[in-house]
Amino acid sequence: MSDDEPDLELLDLLRKSLGIGPADPNAAPETKVLQDAEYIYNNSIDVALDMRGTKNAAIAIWESMQERSYSTKTWSEHELHPKSKDEATVNFIFIMDLLNFSFWSEKNAEERFTVEYKEKRWTGYWSLVAALQRALDEEIPITSPAFWANEEECTEEVLRSVFRSVTSEEVPLFAERVACLREAGEILVEEFDGSIVTLIEDAKNSAAGLVNLLADTFPCFRDEHKFERRQVRFLKRAQIFVADLWAAFEGESYGEFNDIDKITMFADYRIPQILHSFGCLIYCPPLESRIRRLDPLECGHSWELQLRGCSIWSVELLRREIVRDHPEAKINAILIDFFLYDLAKEKEDEGEEEIPHHRTRSIWY
Ligand SMILES: Nc1nc2c(c(CN[C@H]3C=C[C@H](O)[C@@H]3O)cn2[C@@H]2O[C@H](COP(=O)(O)O)[C@@H](O)[C@H]2O)c(=O)[nH]1
């Protein structure tokens, strides 16, 4: 190579380390989430991963997923999840993951925000799904972006009714949820003909591309924070939107992605809790007692970012362990994550929580 020719390999290495996008515009999209999670893991001193716990957990998780024949089909088997393989389900999943955050409550079971639907009471994530299904049953066009942007029709009063509770507590962050709906509605109407299918088609079957498109286009999906002077990306709701589409459509139609395995675990408040109970995650004593005391962790606090980043990395190590022992396994971070969330909810229902989940109030998860 002559002296005046740039060393392209070195340039690319430099770009990657600085987190600058690929030089080649045709390069496959990357979200940088896994890369940032590894960076957080390597720079965490208050949260650590236990390799022995990870190895044991990988065996237990794989066996349990096999016993339950856990697959994308499981997603539609949940009674509240939409079953039709059509645009109505695409629209349902979008608003669901636009608002899929912060359901935890400081009230007790009798007082916490609860949605009654089809003679059952739903809390947490399921209260959101129930509220949306109930609104559709009541002929409210709650899955329409044009409706969200129309403040004459989609009034705050209508939205309060959509999220009405059978208890005294209203849905957490109600005002923030309204703001997300207005923002997403306006952007979808202005830039995507009010169509979520158009948004998906713009990503050309790339999961990473759709995640980046959501993060670049909608501030309310841009789940990024500063950790040790570096901007890190979690993109939890953008990623779970792609994952829910993939699962709901079983990898076909609107759920067809050629790079779905680039999606990571979704950094929420449930998975760290179950990873800790498996012995995969370890907290420093001050953090552990903070969590056990149910004291809040403010959004962006180093401990919170370490919890989120180390959890993403922990699920990646679990995935590698499983694939190493079972090279034929059809498994990815999404299915492990979905399984861990459902398992965490079972343990909560059985009163078997080994540690509480951490309390951060934010629109990111
Ligand atoms: N990482 C991860 N986080 C998830 C889910 C789900 C539900 N996914 C369904 C779809 C397929 C699966 O099989 C599930 O049935 C909700 N969440 C997050 O948890 C929190 C709600 O907790 P709680 O208040 O206790 O319900 C909140 O941050 C919410 O965003 C998941 O799957 N993975």
| 341 CA to centre of ligand 1 in angstroms | 6
Cα separation, 97 vs 328, in Å, equals 31
Judge whether residue 22 has pLDDT over 60.
no
Q: What is the rounded average pLDDT of the residues 107-114? A: 96
Answer yes or no: pTM beyond 0.90: yes
Question: Pocket residues for ligand 1 (CB within 6 Å)?
Answer: 75, 78, 100-101, 103-104, 124-125, 266, 268-271, 337-338, 341-342, 365
Three-class secondary structure of residue 302 per DSSP: helix
Q: What is the pLDDT of residue 18?
A: 67
Q: Is 268 a catalytic residue?
A: yes
Residue nearest to atom 21 of ligand 1 (CA): 125
* Size (the chain), residues: 365
Query: What is the mean pLDDT of the segment spanning 14-24?
Result: 65
Taking the CA of residue 365 as reference, the ligand 1 atom at the shortest distance is 28
Question: Which of 36, 223, 268, 337 is flagged as catalytic?
Answer: 268
Q: With cut-offs at 50, 70 and 90, classify the pLDDT of residue 10.
A: confident
- Would you tell me how many other CB atoms lie within 10 Å of the CB of residue 270? 22
Q: Distance, CA 64 to ligand 1 centroid (Å)? A: 19
Pocket test for ligand 1, best of 123, 125, 274 (most atoms within 8 A of CB): 125
Q: Give the pLDDT score at 354.
A: 94
66 vs 235: CA distance, rounded Å: 29
pLDDT digits (tens, 9 = 90+) for 67-92: 999 999 999 999 999 999 999 999 99
Burial label, 330 (beta-carbon count in 10 A; 0-12, 13-18, 19+): exposed
Q: How remote is the CA of residue 347 from the centroid of ligand 1, in Å?
A: 14
| Residues 6 or more apart in contact with residue 315 via CB below 8 angstroms | 264, 265, 271, 275, 333, 336, 337, 340
| Confidence grade of residue 26 (pLDDT, cut at 50, 70, 90) | confident
In the chain, what percentage of residues exceed pLDDT 90? 92
